[in-house]
């Protein structure tokens, strides 16, 4: 985007305001509003940064206004552009092994539990 594509109004820029919308929308965002948001976000901005971000935010809000003005009455709403489906099998209980049968398959057993090597520190 070039500077000429900006939604910033030169007359408003002189007063520290920038337009936020299409030509018919006269809502303006002020440097004070940008400073307030920056303060809430715990950002310290110089006067130059405030001016630049005011214009940039006005441009962003202007583009959002342009999108909002589109006629989307024939467009189906969707949550995702590609249909998704769950590829996992159904989680249903099936046959299980008895405890003693499972323990016979373990490399080490102690007190009817799996015995594993220590993973933290040395064994006491």
Q: What does the pLDDT profile of the chain (124 residues) look like in tens digits?
A: 444 444 445 445 455 566 554 444 557 899 999 999 999 999 999 999 999 999 999 999 999 999 999 999 998 888 888 888 888 888 899 999 999 999 999 999 999 999 998 888 765 5
CB contact set of 66 (below 8 Å; sequence gap of 6+): 22
> Distance between CA 101 and CA 120 in Å, rounded?
29
Strand, coil or helix: 53: helix
Domain membership of residue 9 as a residue range: 3-68
Q: Is there a domain that residue 103 lies in? A: no
Q: Which two tokens stand for residue 84?
A: 């998704």
pLDDT of residue 80: 85
pLDDT of residue 124: 54
Q: Is there a domain that residue 93 lies in? A: no
pLDDT of residue 20: 52
Q: Is there a domain that residue 53 lies in? A: yes
Q: Is there a domain that residue 94 lies in? A: no
Q: Is there a domain that residue 26 lies in? A: yes
> Distance between CA 91 and CA 93 in Å, rounded?
7
Q: Is there a domain that residue 29 lies in? A: yes
Cα dihedral: 49, 50, 54, 60 (round 10):
50
pLDDT of residue 108: 95
| DSSP output for 20-42 | -SSTT---EEEHHHHHHHHHHTT
Q: Is there a domain that residue 96 lies in? A: no
pLDDT of residue 102: 95
| Total count of domains within the chain | 1
pLDDT of residue 8: 47
Q: Is there a domain that residue 109 lies in? A: no
Which residues does residue 110 pair with via DSSP β-bridges, in sequence order? 113
Confidence (pTM): 0.45
């Amino acid at each position: 985007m070039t500077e000429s594509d900006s939604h910033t109004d030169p007359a408003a820029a002189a007063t520290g305001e920038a337009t936020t919308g299409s030509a018919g929308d006269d809502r303006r965002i002020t440097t004070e509003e940008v400073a307030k948001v920056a303060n809430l976000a715990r950002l310290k901005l110089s006067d130059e940064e405030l001016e630049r971000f005011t214009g940039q935010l006005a441009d962003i809000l202007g583009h959002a206004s342009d999108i909002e003005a589109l006629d989307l009455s024939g467009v189906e709403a969707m949550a995702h552009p590609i249909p998704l489906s769950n590829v996992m099998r159904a989680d249903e209980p099936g046959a299980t092994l008895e405890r003693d049968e499972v323990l016979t398959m373990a490399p080490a057993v102690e007190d009817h539990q799996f015995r594993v090597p220590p993973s933290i520190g040395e064994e006491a």
